[in-house]
Amino acid sequence: MVRDELNIELRNNAADLYSCRKLTRQAALKMGFAGDDLWSIISAVFEACANALTHGANNGAASVHLHIRPHPDKFEAVVTDSGKGFSCPDNTPIPSPSSHRGRGIPLMREFMDEVAFERNGGMKVKLVKYLREKG
């Protein structure tokens, strides 16, 4: 099932992060995702949005965007911000249990089929999860 694209601008507040989760869930459900795959999508998109708001929004400016693109065979979300970006090696390890930070990127990679980072006047994170055949 292919639905309309979704574009939202996020501000750095709990209500917008809640909306991010809710809208991501609705879009993924409409595309046929359920169970663990649905949870993985919601978690990864939430993490990307939270990271962008924490690290990429310049001085609290409303400059984080979530774009969900429906496809017949996959869920695709792109999160962009206007921050300076960062270099992200492909093998970023999950930190020790005592660490309070640093789990987001490894978890996004674990939960999604494709994760790409691009610096281009800010940071762009592309997340893809393929729809699996039922049965």
Residue 39's pLDDT band (cuts 50, 70, 90): very high
Tell me which residue has tokens 């999160």. 79
Residue 74 predicted with pLDDT over 90 = yes
Mean pLDDT, residues 56-72 taken together: 78
Q: In sequence order, what DSSP letters do the residues of 61-113 get, joined into one string?
A: -S-EEEEEEE-SSEEEEEEEE-S------TTPPPPPTT-SS--HHHHHHHHSS
Residue 127 predicted with pLDDT over 70 = yes
User: Closest Cα partner for 105 from 83, 82, 84, 79?
Assistant: 79
For the chain, the domains span 6-89+104-130
User: Closest Cα partner for 78 from 128, 16, 10?
Assistant: 128
Residue 70's pLDDT band (cuts 50, 70, 90): confident
14-36 pLDDT tens trace:
888 889 999 999 999 999 999 99
53-62 pLDDT tens trace:
887 766 555 5
Model pLDDT, residue 59: 56
Q: Residue 42 and residue 24: Cα distance in Å, rounded?
A: 6
Model pLDDT, residue 87: 60
Model pLDDT, residue 40: 97
Model pLDDT, residue 102: 59
Q: Residue 118 and residue 33: Cα distance in Å, rounded?
A: 26
Residue 119's pLDDT band (cuts 50, 70, 90): confident
Mean pLDDT, residues 75-86 taken together: 85
123-130 and 74-81 as β-strands: parallel, antiparallel, unpaired? antiparallel
Q: Residue 37 corresponds to which tokens in the numbers above?
A: 């795959």
**The CATH fold of domain 6-89+104-130:** Heat Shock Protein 90 (3.30.565)
